Chain A
Amino acid sequence: MSRQNSDLAQTKKHLRAPNEVMDLKRLGSFYPYKLSFMRKLMRKVMQEQWRINLALFNLDKKGYGEAIYEIKTPSNCYHFVVFANFLDPSLRTDRVIAEAWDLTVTLRHGSFDPTELESLRKNVPLQEKGRMTAQSLVLSRANKSSRTFEYVINQLSSGKQPSIKKINEVGYLYRTTAVYGSGKFGMADWSKIKMSYADFTEPFSAEMFSCFMIRQFSLDQADHIASMCAPELSVRLDDNIKRYFGIGNATGLGMAPFLIKHPLLINSWIETREFALAQVLSHTLPNNNTLHIFSILMQRAITHLNEIATNNESQNKINCDASQALSSILKWLNQEKVNLTNWQQMIQYVSDNYNVEAQELINTILIEVHPEEVLALENNHDIEEIYELTPEMKLLNLKKIIENQYQWALQYDFKSKNANAIFWYRSEEKMEPRLGDRDFDNGAEKEILIGIARAVEQCYATITALPSEMKINNVAEFVFAYPEHRHIIRRIQTMAKTKYGEIQANLLDKDVLPIHLLRCKLSFFGVGKFDPKSRLWVRNTMFQGAPIVSDIGTQYKDDWIFPVMPSNESSKGNEIH
C-alpha cells in the first residue's frame, strides 16, 4: 500500500457515521468553518488581489441613485450595479413576497456599455418580474436595518464614530432578502458560470460575492450620506468598525427544499467537512503551538457567543449554554493538556459530557487550527448531479440497501397522524415554499415531494408485500409494475454510493424544525449569528469581520472566524497570527 493510500485509509477510519452526522439537530448545530463558501471566496479575492473600483457613484444627498463598481480579476472583468431608491418604511419587509426594496443590485460580466444601464434600470428594480441577460450572474436586493442605518448616519454626520455596542445589536446596515443566481430570470446558467468564469466556479460564490459587494456599498453609502449632510463636520467610518459591519440576511423555508432536492451536492459539502475533521484527527497531534491557538479560538468563540444579540429565547439559551460549555471545556483542557496525547481524547471527552452544539463548535475550532490539513480540500465541492436508475439491480439487493442505509426512514409510523401531519407546498405568491397542516390547510394534493422517509417507507412496503406470482426479479420489472416508485428508487440507488447526502429526519412530522435545515445550509455559506424569528425563518449575518475592499492588496490573515467587537477588551490578544 502506498503512503498516500495508507494516509487515506487512516483518514477514512476517523470519518463519523452517517446516522451521527446527518441527524437533523446536529446539522442545525453546524458553524461556519474554514472551507465555508465565504471564507473560500475571501481567500481567493485577497490572494488574487481583485481590483474593485467605483466606476459610477451617482447618489444624491440622501443616498438615492446609482452606483457601479468595476471588478477586475486576473482573468475577467465584472460590474456590480446598484440601484438605491426611496422605500416607504411601511413597505419594508423581509418576506420574499415583497414588491419593493431599498436596494436592488446585479452582478454582470464583461465591459459595461452605458446603453445597457437603461435596460438594467428597467429590470433590476423589478426583481422577479424583470428579465435579465445571459451576461448577468446574480440578481439581489436588500433593505436597510431601520435600527442601525439612521443611527450610524447621525453619528458620522456629527463627527463621531458609532458605538460598537450599538452596532453589535444588529451587526449590519442592510439585510438581503433574496439572492438569485444560476440562471434565474434569464441570467447565466450555472453550467455557463462553471465553463466561462473561473472566478466563480465554486457553488454560490457569485452570490456570496454579491453579498460582499452589497456590504461594501452600504459602507460607502453611509460615508457618502454623512459627508453630504455635514460636509465640514462629518467623519468617515473607521476601517475597524467597517470590518465589524457584516451584511444581514433573512432566510426562510426556500432553502429547505434545496437541501432535500440536491442530496449529492449536500453529500459533497458534508463529506468535505467530515473529511477535514477526520484528516485533522488522523494526521495531527496536539502540541504547544496548536493547543495555544486552540485556546485562543475557544476564548474568542466564547466572547462571540456572549455578544450575539437576539430576542429569541431559545437561541439565547443555545448560545449561553454553548458559551458555558466552552468555558468549562477550556478549563478541562488547561488542566489536561499535559496528558493529552491525541485530539480524539478531547473529542471523546466533549462528546461524553456536552451537547451537539458544543461538540460542533469544538470540531469547527479543531479544523480552524489546522489549515495545512484542510486547505487542500478546498476545491472539492463541485459535482455532477445525476440520479440514474440501475434497472438491472436485483430487487432483493434494493431491499437490502433500504434496510441497511435507509433504516432511519423505516422507523416512522406514517399511519400515525403526527408523522404525516405537515405538508410542504409552493404558494402562488412568488412560488414561496410554505408549510401546511393536513387537517386544516388547503393544498395537500399539491405537496412538494420532500418526504423522503415516507417515500422510502412506501416503496419498501410495496416490495415486501409483492405477491409471489408476480415474479418480479429486478428493479426494471418493479418500476414497470409500480412506476410511482421509480423516482425514489433512482435516489436510493444513487445515494447508496455516498455517505452523507440524506438528512435523516421526517420532514412531514408535526414537530419538524426546518430552522435546523436553514442553519445547516447557512453554515456552509459561512453565515453566523443566527437570530431565528420563528421555527421557519432566521435572520443572520454574513461577512462580519471580513476584510473590506480597501484591505485588498494588504497581507491577509484569514482569521475572521467568530467575529467579536473590535473595541472589546476581552478580544485583545485573540489574534491567532
Chain B
Amino acid sequence: MKFIRISINEFKALLNRACEAYYGHKYDFEDTAAIIQWLELHELMGVVNFLEITNVDPKKLKLLPVISEDQKKRFVFHNQDHSLIHTSSIITDMTLAKCHRDNLCHTNIINILDPIAILPSLIKCSQKGYHAKAWWTDSEKNLLHMASINPNEQYPSYSIIKINTLIPNNNSDLDLICSRNRINSIESSIKIQPISNKENIIQEISVNEFKQYYNHKIINGLHIKTNYYQKLLQIADQILVEASEQSRLGAGE
C-alpha cells in the first residue's frame, strides 16, 4: 500500500479546500475541516470518514439536525442518519449555551453516523470550563464507547469497553453531558454493569497518548494513503477556476 507524507499545515490547507468545495459557503466549512483534521491527527480515521460522506451528492445533504426535545437541562436532536462530522459543532454550540444557562445539559443525539466526531467537541466544552462526557454504543459488537474531559484540559480520555448485557441505547444514539460540576458516574444513565472492570476495556487512549500522536506528526508529518490523498485533492481542486489569458490578467500581468 502506498502512502504520501504531508505536513500538518499542508493537510489543513487541503482539508479546508476540500470542505469548501464539498460544503460550499452555506456551512462553517473551516470548522468541519478542523474536526476531520483533529480526528486524523489523533489516529481516528478522519479522512476515511470524510471521504465516505463525500459519496453523497452535496446537493442532497440536509446538514441541519432537528430538535426533537428542548427542555431545561435537556436537548434531543434527530441527526437524520447523517454524519456527526458536520453537525457536532452546532449541536455542541446549543449544548454549551444551555449549560451556560442551566449549569448542566444532557444532550441526546439520535440517528447519527461517525459518533467519534464528538471528541473534538468535548475539548470545546473543556475550554469553556466545563466537565463533559460522551458515550455511545455499537450493538453489533456489544461495545460501549466512552470519552470524558475535565475543565481546561487539552485532550479527553477515550475508551472502548466490551459489555455483556443488552444495550439499552439504540445503536445510532449518542449521549453528551456537559456540566459545571464533576460528572461522577454515567452508570445510572445507561444501566450497564460492570463498566469499570478493567478486563472489559478493549481499547483506551489516554490524554498522553493523544498528545503523543499529535507531537509525532508535528515532528514527522503524517502519512496518508496515496489514493485517499488523490481523492482529497480531486475534491479540493473543485474550488479552482479554469485559467485563461483573461484570467492571467487578474494576477497583474
Listed in ascending order, the chain A residues whose CB lies under 8 Å from chain B are 95-97, 131, 134, 182-192, 195-196, 252-253, 388-389, 391-392, 425-429, 431-436, 440-443, 446, 449, 474-477, 479-480, 483-484, 486-487, 490, 533-537
Contacts and interface: CB of A to CB of B under 8 A. Distances in A.
Contacts of B92: 391
22 contacts: A186-B10, A189-B221, A388-B124, A388-B127, A389-B89, A392-B97, A426-B241, A429-B243, A434-B250, A434-B251, A435-B250, A436-B247, A441-B250, A443-B241, A443-B242, A443-B247, A474-B97, A479-B90, A483-B26, A483-B64, A486-B89, A487-B31
A480 B93 contact: yes
Given A183-B8, A534-B252, 20 more contacts: A131-B5, A184-B10, A186-B6, A186-B221, A189-B7, A388-B124, A389-B89, A391-B92, A429-B243, A429-B248, A434-B248, A440-B246, A441-B250, A446-B238, A449-B25, A476-B94, A483-B28, A484-B25, A490-B28, A490-B31
Contacts of B243: 427-429
A186 B9 contact: no
Contacts of B89: 389, 486
B247 A391 contact: no
Interface string B13-34: 0000000000001111111000
A442 B245 CA distance: 12
Contacts of B244: 442
Interface of B: 5-10, 25-31, 63-64, 89-90, 92-94, 96-97, 100-101, 124, 127, 218-221, 237-244, 246-248, 250-253
B240 A192 contact: no
B194 to A, nearest CB: 36
Q: Is the interface of B mostly helix, strand, loop or mixed?
A: helix
Contacts of A392: 96-97, 100-101
B26 A434 contact: no
Contacts of A252: 251-252
Contact of B93 (A195, A391, A436, A446): A391
Contacts of B27: 483-484, 486
A428 B247 CA distance: 10
Nearest to B252: A536
Given A392-B100, A443-B242, A95 B251 contact: yes
Given A477-B94, A480-B94, A486-B90, A186 B7 contact: yes
A119 to B, nearest CB: 13
A182 B237 CA distance: 21
B94 A391 contact: yes
A391 to B, nearest CB: 4
Residue of B127, B218, B238, B250 most packed against chain A (CB within 10 A): B250
Nearest to A194: B218
A183 B96 contact: no
Closest 10 CB pairs of A and B: A536-B252, A183-B9, A183-B7, A443-B241, A434-B250, A392-B100, A476-B97, A391-B93, A486-B28, A476-B93
Contacts of A443: 241-242, 247
Contacts of B218: 189, 191-192, 195
Contacts of A449: 25
A360 B64 CA distance: 49
A186 B89 CA distance: 30
Nearest to A254: B251
Given A484-B25, A487-B31, A446 B94 contact: no
Contacts of A196: 219
A446 B22 CA distance: 11
A188 B7 contact: yes
Given A186-B5, A186-B10, A192-B219, A475 B97 contact: yes
A264 to B, nearest CB: 14
A434 B249 CA distance: 8
B241 A483 contact: no
B40 to A, nearest CB: 14
A284 to B, nearest CB: 41
B251 A426 contact: no
A392 B102 CA distance: 11
Given A253-B252, A391-B96, A480-B94, A428 B9 contact: no
B90 A537 contact: no
Nearest to A391: B93
A293 B10 CA distance: 47
A449 B246 CA distance: 22
Contacts of B28: 479, 483, 486-487, 490
